[in-house]
Structure 1
Amino acid sequence: MRIAFFSTKPYDRIWFEPMAKDYGYEIYFIELPFSEETVFLAKGYDAVCIFVNDHVNAQMIDTLHEMGVKALLLRSAGYNHVDTRAAKGKVAVLRVPSYSPEAVAEFAMAMLLTVNRFTHKAYGRTREFNMNINGLMGTDLYHKVAGVIGTGKIGQAMIRIFHGFRMNVLAYDPYPNSNLDVQYVSLEELLSKADFLSLHCPLTPDTHHIINEKTISIMKDGAYLVNTSRGGLIDTQALINGLLAKKFGGVGLDVYEEEEGLFYEDCSDEIIQDDNLARLTTFPNVLITSHMGFFTVEAMQSIAHETLENAYALENNLTLKNLVE
């Protein structure tokens, strides 16, 4: 099998190159993102491998189908960046549903702890021998109420972590899991009671802007919000308005709804044109990272293995357990 691998970063090669040789596959690594302008590079390949910020529309699906490309291999669990309806019957869309739930959940907790206890600011101060701790006061997590929206594998890992801090955990999911040691409540009740809120749901039409002006108004004053899932879960302008109104104790964002073209790139020498993102960076109680919650050795190995297993299943007419339908 020949695979065109888009949005390549140096760390992708570390695992994909040796594993591809073990499978006997040829991978053509392309640094460019997958787009209408670069889709032609997939000609002559059996599959295209893409990442979360590579958006695939119906026209691109038709082009891939005409070129004989059999599959879109997603290096992600989410698939909201692909027109899966257009792909049906033309190109198989295969995802990586579970690579390391703990990686994302642990990072979400790290963000929450950081923005709560201002460790990032303390680090900057002490490097300049400013040992003043004024303005760095946080709050205990012990016995506080934690809210988890979305109880899939990452949400479940987050619940376990919150329990480890002896927090009272509430969860919301339209499809409750009766096997979990957690109290399910309505979204409104969770928002009104949670001191610390973590988002772990996929981006769908139902969850788009699940955090908006209305839901923010329901939240506790001084609540903490962390999003390591998808940027589109939060209405950015509503979040900014809430921050200006001093609604939040702190906010941690590993994702952003307009992150395409910015996240994963070095833009340090550029003037950022996104006014909302620039505004968010000015708030002292906001921590932003570049969609790196998944980024651990274990997760990267798992992503590479599962992606190539998807290709192997397709090539050998095996059951496509990770097919997006």
Structure 2
Amino acid sequence: MTSGRGGPGQAAAVRSAVGQVHTAGRVKDCGETLQFSWPGVYFEGRFRGTGVGVVLDCAAADYDVQVDGATVATLVTPGDTTYWITGLRDGEHAVRVVKRNDTPGETSAFGGFVAAPGGAVLRRPAPRDRQIEFIGDSITVGYGNVPHTDACDPEQVKRNTNSDVSHGALTARLLDADYQLNGFSGLGLVRNVAGIIPDITYRTYYDRALLDVDGDVWQNPGTWRPRIVVVNLGSNDFSDLTPGEPWTPDGLAVAYRTAYDEFLRELRTRYGSGTSLVAVGFDRNAEHVRKVVEARNDAGDRGVHYWFLDQAGLDFLGCDGHTSARDDRLIADRLAPFLRSLPTGW
């Protein structure tokens, strides 16, 4: 098998229709391309032949290309290209492309799959019966989760972030579910890490497909109806206060609980009573999240559940003290049984 930007299909390549691709991510259909911003967005297809081209236009993010379940290439900021995987056994194959990291200041574009000469792109894979949405910050993204020995400067964080082995992606695969990873590093519900950019929060961006487009609103095609939504927000809200910030510890706690309650109400309105909402308690936010869940239950919403992210056994060897890929596997192994126990009919 060989791979690269050139190849036998370069001269005759015709972009496949986006209708031949399965994705559950938040994308904007622009006709020949799908635009997207969130981490972990994936595109799945099928083809017959000895090779496949991946059509991308992105100079900011990294991607893994997987054929028949195995990663065959990692594309680092590939630019505007058709990247070819060739020399495969002649026959039917599954192909998957996944965005590895978070690049909220950029819009990426995917133009479909192209079969090598003599082959064909086949009907797109069927969606999975189960859907899970993960909402959170850097821990949800999988920030710097590929362990390494060098210092974590911004470029190394990008190279060592792999959302495809984040705990959300792994949990979804354990449950055979399609998923969205709507994670945004550094942001909180009312306050961001170290008090940065005080005029925005995670909620500024949650409704968007394209994060860098002010006012953008993702248009749900009607196929995204998750039975489980997992919320893990608060680590940044309760990061150490810095001089000059207007918050007091008590005032921050009250504002956080109020915003969390409002956000859960918004999710309930968006997805209806049949969706289980899972609020994750982690580190300094745990007790506040538990109180919010109790309040929602007392108000009659029994579909809101609390899950404590136990740190026992985690090594936090990811960049800047974040969870490692090993940790993400441990978390997924703990979270999946809890989600399986919820009254979803799964």
Q: Same fold (TM over 0.5)?
A: no
Q: TM-score range by the shorter chain?
A: 0.3 to 0.5
The structure in which a higher percent of residues are strand is: 2
The structure in which a higher percent of residues are helix is: 1
